[in-house]
């Protein structure tokens, strides 16, 4: 998979359905090798989205979101910044698993409105807060997911960048603090297949 | 037991009568027969007489217990048991005469004569009364014939015999007649109650169908007739966007009305999809996304939830996104569409109590966002529906 030019890519775009086979199980492997992965899929079921995030995918783009969010997602992920597409917002809002991260009421409200298709500016007006705060609510929810579950280099990079950007305080990250210091260099991953 | 139904009451009476008969037979057999057997042991013709009497007592006990067991379990005594039990009872009657010996036939030692009736009553429970009368007649005859065989009899003996026959038969016959009357009454009451319940159910179902029909008719009438009348009279101009929007909304309402009748696991989504199809036919690209487990939602609430989205869809120019998001505490239907109509209005509430639906609007340039929300009265268990999220995009 990574013998060609893709080896040096900053971001890998992965279609979950490769030649009729779901490749969700390959995400963890690629993420562990330090690749930033954006899943681009027809699949919008929340369990598929949450599974991809848990495995270490940086972002999830539903195919119908491509037109509006494609470039922004890729740019954000290349900079190790969170980018929450409406489908991911919906999946986090609807997460009913026992081990899900606890989201605040404001975070849930922002996620729901963003999922419904409002612009962030409209979400801000609707909630009576600034656009910046809307971004914070949505990104913090995403970072809570990055902190939960298995640690990995892409999750650590996301958290490290969040600390640099002032979205998180180092003490919020807890046991993953040690991962947060150096940003993993892309392209150092060993070749596979 | 003020609200006990007639069949249940009749059944209780019938069972009470049965228990009465079993208690009488048991008490009689223990307090009279057993006592007489023990006290008269020496006077009975030993060893044959005492042995016969004891054997009859044991046999009667077995018959009584067997019959009582079957009857208390709600069954009749089996045919085979009746066919064996009755001859045994009658043989006991003959044995009683022989055991008590000449001159003692009318004495207490001849206890089987009086007991045959009570045990026959149990064996023949829920069977024709004539069978019991026949058995009691056979009992009397067997006693008479056996007596004739073991001693000479005179007129006085015959008179005493007749008197005892009367004494040992009338009570049982009256008891059996009363019991069969109660039993029949219970059956009849149950039958008529069943008929009434069926009739009531049929009536209720017919009424429901009728009400639904009236309801649909009213909905169609209010939805379409004003508009059609306006178009027909020339009061409404089909070329204006307002009229076109109204037509689109009414078409969606009619489509929703039809969708409400369909049997669908998720009626809300099904009805929204129906409304979306109407918009798609106009060339609007519609996305429909469903998130979470949707609980059962009453029809009036579903209508209140879908009504504002219908207006937005009718006004949509090129695209619309419908979302249904459900968690145990809230159902939110959201629509975002590019439209010129519809203003940024404050939140409103429609309905009252458990059917209160909150409607929110927000406009941003060409985009209009409308959301309807309903809070289910009590958190419904998540297990009723599986978590699901689907996306439906028929065009685009």
The whole-angstrom separation of Cα A182 and Cα A178 is 9
Residues of A in contact with B325 (CB under 8 A): 90, 93-94, 112, 115-116
Closest-CA residue of B relative to A42 is B391
Of residues B221 and B180, the one with the higher pLDDT is B180
Residues of B in contact with A112 (CB under 8 A): 325, 332, 334
Q: Which of B292, B323, B393 sits opposite A116 (nearest CB)?
A: B323
The whole-angstrom separation of Cα A141 and Cα A153 is 19
Q: A13 is written with which tokens?
A: 């775009």
Alpha carbon B389 to its chain's center? 39
Q: What single-letter DSSP state applies at residue A10?
A: S
Q: CB burial class (10 A; 0-12, 13-18, 19+) of residue B350?
A: middle
* pLDDT of res. A146: 84
Contact B44, B53 (CB under 8 A): yes
Pairing type for strands A17-18 and A11-14 reads unpaired
User: How much is the ipTM here?
Assistant: 0.80
The whole-angstrom separation of Cα A101 and Cα A144 is 6
- Asked if B325 is an interface residue toward chain A (Cβ–Cβ < 8 A), one would say yes
- pLDDT of residue A179 exceeding 50, the answer is no
Going by C-alpha positions, the residue among A78, A109, A89 that lies closest to residue A49 is A89
How many CB pairs lie under 8 A apart between chains A and B? 78
* pLDDT of res. A170: 72
Q: Which of A94, A122, A126 sits opposite B325 (nearest CB)?
A: A94
Picking from A79-88, B181-190, B234-243, which range would have the lowest pLDDT averaged per residue?
A: B181-190
- DSSP percent split of chain A into helix, strand, coil, nearest 5: 55, 10, 35
Q: How confident is the model at residue B387 (pLDDT cuts 50, 70, 90)?
A: very low
Contact B61, B29 (CB under 8 A): yes
Q: In whole angstroms, how large is the CA radius of gyration of chain A?
A: 16
Percent of chain B residues past pLDDT 70, beyond the cut? 88
Residue B205 Cα distances to A184, B139, B196, angstroms: 70, 58, 14
Q: What single-letter DSSP state applies at residue A97?
A: -
Q: Which of B334, B390, B391 sits opposite A64 (nearest CB)?
A: B391
Q: Looking at mean pLDDT, say which of A68-72, A181-185, B43-47, B205-209 comes out highest.
A: A68-72
* pLDDT of res. B284: 87
- pLDDT of residue B11 exceeding 80, the answer is no
* pLDDT of res. B126: 85
- pLDDT of residue B343 exceeding 80, the answer is no
* pLDDT of res. B27: 92
Whether residues A115 and B292 touch (CB distance < 8 A) is answered with no
Pairing type for strands B357-364 and B348-350 reads antiparallel
Q: B84 is written with which tokens?
A: 């064996």
Of residues A35 and B321, the one with the higher pLDDT is B321
**How far is the alpha carbon of B334 from chain A, nearest alpha carbon, in Å?**
6
B101-160 pLDDT, tens per residue?
Answer: 777 778 777 888 888 899 999 999 888 889 999 999 998 898 888 888 888 888 888 888
- Asked if A136 is an interface residue toward chain B (Cβ–Cβ < 8 A), one would say no
A49-101 pLDDT, tens per residue?
Answer: 988 888 888 899 988 888 889 899 988 888 888 899 999 999 999 988 888 88
* pLDDT of res. A132: 92
Pairing type for strands A11-14 and A36-41 reads parallel
Q: Looking at mean pLDDT, say which of A9-23, A151-165, B301-315 comes out highest.
A: B301-315
Q: CB burial class (10 A; 0-12, 13-18, 19+) of residue B6?
A: middle
3-state secondary structure chain B: CCCCCHHHHHHHHHHHHHHHHHHHHHHHHHHHHHHHHHHCCCCCCCCHHHHHHHHHHHHHHHHHHHHHHHHHCCCCCCHHHHHHHHHHHHHHHHHHHHHHCCCCCCCCCCCHHHHHHHHHHHHCCCCCHHHHHHHHHHHHHHHHHHHHHHCCCCHHHHHHHHHHHHHHHHHHHHHHHHHHHHHHHHHHHHHHHHHHHHHHHHHHHHHHHHHHHHHHHHHHHHHHHHHHHHHHHCCCCCCCHHHHHHHHHHHHHHHHHHHHHCCCCCHHHHHHHHHHHHHHHCCCEEEEEEECCCCCCCHHHHHHHHHHHHHHHHHCCCEEEEEEEEECCEEEEEEEEECCCCCCCCCEEECCHHHCEEEEEEEECCEEEEEEEECCCCCCCHHHCCCCEEEEECCC
Whether residues A115 and B336 touch (CB distance < 8 A) is answered with no
Q: CB burial class (10 A; 0-12, 13-18, 19+) of residue B154?
A: exposed
Closest-CA residue of A relative to B323 is A116
- Asked if A133 is an interface residue toward chain B (Cβ–Cβ < 8 A), one would say no
- pLDDT of residue B379 exceeding 60, the answer is no
- pLDDT of residue B1 exceeding 70, the answer is no
A114-123 pLDDT, tens per residue?
Answer: 999 999 999 9
The whole-angstrom separation of Cα A136 and Cα A143 is 10
Contact B252, B272 (CB under 8 A): no
- Asked if B329 is an interface residue toward chain A (Cβ–Cβ < 8 A), one would say no
The whole-angstrom separation of Cα A60 and Cα A70 is 10
A121-154 pLDDT, tens per residue?
Answer: 999 998 999 999 999 999 989 888 888 777 777 7
């Amino acid at each position: 998979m990574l013998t060609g030019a893709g080896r040096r890519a900053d971001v890998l775009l992965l279609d979950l359905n490769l030649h009729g086979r779901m490749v969700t199980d390959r995400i963890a492997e690629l993420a562990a090798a330090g690749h930033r992965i954006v899943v681009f899929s027809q699949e919008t079921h929340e369990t598929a989205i949450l599974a991809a995030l848990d495995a270490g995918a940086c972002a999830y783009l539903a195919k119908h979101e491509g037109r509006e969010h494609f470039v922004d997602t890729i740019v954000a992920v290349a900079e190790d910044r969170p980018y929450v597409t409406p489908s991911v917002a919906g999946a986090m809002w609807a997460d009913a698993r026992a081990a899900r991260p606890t989201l605040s009421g404001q975070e849930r409200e922002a996620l729901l409105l963003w999922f419904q298709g409002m612009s962030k500016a409209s979400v801000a007006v609707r909630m009576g807060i600034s656009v910046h705060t809307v971004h914070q609510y949505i990104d913090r929810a995403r970072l809570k997911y990055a902190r939960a579950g298995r640690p990995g280099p892409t999750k650590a990079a996301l958290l490290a960048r969040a600390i640099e950007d002032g979205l998180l305080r180092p003490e919020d990250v807890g046991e993953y603090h040690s991962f947060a210091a150096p940003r993993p260099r892309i392209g150092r991953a060993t070749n596979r297949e | 037991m003020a609200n006990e139904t007639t069949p249940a009451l009749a059944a209780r009476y019938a069972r009470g009568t049965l228990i009465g008969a079993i208690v009488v037979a048991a008490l009689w057999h223990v307090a009279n027969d057993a006592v007489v057997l023990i006290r008269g042991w020496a006077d009975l013709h030993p060893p044959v007489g005492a042995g016969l009497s004891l054997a009859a007592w044991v046999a009667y006990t077995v018959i009584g217990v067997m019959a009582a067991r079957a009857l208390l379990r709600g069954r009749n005594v089996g045919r085979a048991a009746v066919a064996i039990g009755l001859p045994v009872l009658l043989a006991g009657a003959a044995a009683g005469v022989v055991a008590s010996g000449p001159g003692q036939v009318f004495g207490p030692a001849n206890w089987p004569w009086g007991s045959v009736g009570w045990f026959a009553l149990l064996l023949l429970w829920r069977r024709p009364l004539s069978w019991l009368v026949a058995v009691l007649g056979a009992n009397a005859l067997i006693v008479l014939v056996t007596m004739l065989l073991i001693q000479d009899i005179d007129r006085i003996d015959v008179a005493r015999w007749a008197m005892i026959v009367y004494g040992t038969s009338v009570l049982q016959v009256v008891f059996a007649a009363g019991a069969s009357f109660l039993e029949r009454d219970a059956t009849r009451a149950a039958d008529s109650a069943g008929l009434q319940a069926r009739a009531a159910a049929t009536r209720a179902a017919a009424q429901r169908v009728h009400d639904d029909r009236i309801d649909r008719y009213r909905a169609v009438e209010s939805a379409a007739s004003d508009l059609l009348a306006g178009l027909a009279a020339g009061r409404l101009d089909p070329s204006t966007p307002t009229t076109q929007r109204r037509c689109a909304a009414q078409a969606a309402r009619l489509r929703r009305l039809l969708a409400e009748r369909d049997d669908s696991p998720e009626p809300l989504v099904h009805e929204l999809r129906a409304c979306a199809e109407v918009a798609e036919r106009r060339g609007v690209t519609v996305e429909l996304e469903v998130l979470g487990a949707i609980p059962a939602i009453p029809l009036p609430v579903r209508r209140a939830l879908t009504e504002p989205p219908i207006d937005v869809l009718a006004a949509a120019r090129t695209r619309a996104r419908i979302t249904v998001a459900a968690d145990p505490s809230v159902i939110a239907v959201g629509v975002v569409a590019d439209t010129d109509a519809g203003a940024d209005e404050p939140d409103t509430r429609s309905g009252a109590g458990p059917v209160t639906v909150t409607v929110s609007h927000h406009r941003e340039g060409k985009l209009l966002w409308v959301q309807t929300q309903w809070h289910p009265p009590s958190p419904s268990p998540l297990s009723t529906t599986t978590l699901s999220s689907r996306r439906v995009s028929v065009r685009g």
